[in-house]
Amino acid sequence: MKIGIPGSLLYYYYYPFWQTLFEKLGNEVVLSDPTSGDLLNEGVKESVSEICVPMKVYVGQVLNLLEKGVDLIYIPRFVSIRKGITFCPKFLGLPDMIKNSLSAVKGRILTHEIRAKTDDISEYKNYVSFRDIFQVSRGELKKALDKARQNWLKFRSLQQEGYKTEKLLLGEKEKREEGFLKIGVLGYVYNLYDRFINMDFMERLEEMGAKIVTFEMLDGEIIDRFVRNLRKPMFWEFTNKLMAAGYHFINSEDIDGIIHITAFGCGPDSILGPFLEIDAGKKNKPFMTLRIDEQTGESHLITRIEAFLDLLRLKKRSDIA
């Protein structure tokens, strides 16, 4: 079977797992095209206008996979990967939203719930329905899940060693650049690595002499310890991850500044962002928010990054002098 995977949302976190799993179960994996103006426009036309831009991109990616003639489109429902914490409601309702917005996907969605205790989503119980769908035995499914887990763990450890996520997803290995400035970049993986939506933000930062650190590059224990110790964590898993990384960056002396890249219309970020900005201010850590939507202008983005980095360079030079 041809299984289509939309190249958006948690594709940037779990693709090595999904690719291995479906291939080991005897399928061909088809990825949607990278986001482009046309793809986004198609997604915008079929989405409710208030929804965040990553969801509009996702709808565009699904339409693109339909055009490619895949048999099934994989749209899992992420419920939880940490006890007591769930996902942004848009993730919880994702398969329903797609089903109800796009009549052409009828009968072509492959979905199931993912409930896990950690980021490791390989537990057999989540995939029992795959046995009938792919006509495989329990042993074959377990073996495929184990291989998928191994490949995903390898991907995660390369991320933590500083290899670029965007290259790893293409099967390439390239380390993040060193730079005079070290910037903590906070953002959901789909905002960080969708080069169209963020107008090549990561590449530009590096070209301007910044070394980038993101939440997935941190040791998982830093994130887990922070979330464990919160008196009242946020409801949403990846928002907690960003909060943990944010406070880690605020308290790290070697981080020169923080950039929070967020999507217009993101409810969780509208709570997270102000918390971090206020506390960064208290610690005298420069903090900038970049909000992206389908109309954000490129020159506006570049001007803001340049101005922020100029300020950080001046500050660093005067701190060193």
Tell me which stretch binds ligand SF4 (CB under 6 A): 123-131, 194-202, 260-268, 300-308: 260-268
Nearest approach in angstroms of CB 226 to ligand SF4 is 18
CB count within 10 Å of CB 281 equals 12
CB of 268 to ligand SF4, least distance (A): 5
**Which C-beta is closer to ligand SF4: that of 54 or that of 184?**
54
Told to check if 266 binds ligand SF4 by CB under 6 A, we report yes
37-45 vs 53-67: helix crossing angle, rounded to 10: 100
What is the nearest approach in angstroms of ligand SF4 to the Cβ of residue 190?
Answer: 7
Nearer to ligand SF4, 55 or 255 (CB): 55
Judged by CB under 6 A, the residue of 267, 274, 283, 310 near ligand SF4 is: 267
CB 177 to ligand SF4: min, Å: 27
3-class SS of residue 115: strand
Q: For ligand SF4, which is the closer residue by CB, 19 or 240? A: 240
CB 181 → ligand SF4: shortest distance, Å?
A: 27
The stretch among 16-24, 52-60, 129-137, 146-154 that binds ligand SF4 (CB under 6 A) is: 52-60
Pair 256, 316: CB distance under 8 Å: yes
13 lies in the site for ligand SF4, by CB under 6 A: no
C-alpha to C-alpha distance for 180 and 254, rounded to whole angstroms? 11
Piece in contact with ligand SF4 (CB under 6 A), picked from 42-50, 72-80, 195-203, 266-274: 266-274
Residue 268 touches ligand SF4, criterion: CB under 6 A: yes
Q: Which of residues 89-128 bind ligand SF4 (CB under 6 A)?
A: 90
Q: Where are the beta strands (DSSP E) in 88-223?
A: 109-110, 113-115, 181-186, 210-213
Tokens read off for 163? 């290899």
CB 259 within 8 A of CB 192: no
DSSP 250-281: HH-TT--EEEEEEETT-HHHHHHHHHHHHHHH
186 scored as a contact of ligand SF4 (CB under 6 A): no
Q: Classify the phi-psi angles of 35: left when phi > 0, otherwise alpha if psi is within -120 to 50, otherwise beta.
A: beta
Under rule CB under 6 A, residue 269 binds ligand SF4 = yes
Q: What is the gyration radius of the CA atoms in the chain, in angstroms? A: 20
Report helix angle 267-282 to 237-251, nearest 10: 10
- Cβ 275 to ligand SF4, closest distance in Å? 15
Residues 6+ apart with CB under 8 A from 74: 3, 4, 5, 6, 18, 22, 110, 111
Contact with ligand SF4 (CB under 6 A): which of 54, 184, 233, 246? 54
The reply to whether 215 sits near ligand SF4 by the rule CB under 6 A is no
User: What is the contact surface with ligand SF4 in residues (CB under 6 A)?
Assistant: 52, 54-55, 88, 90, 188, 263, 266-269
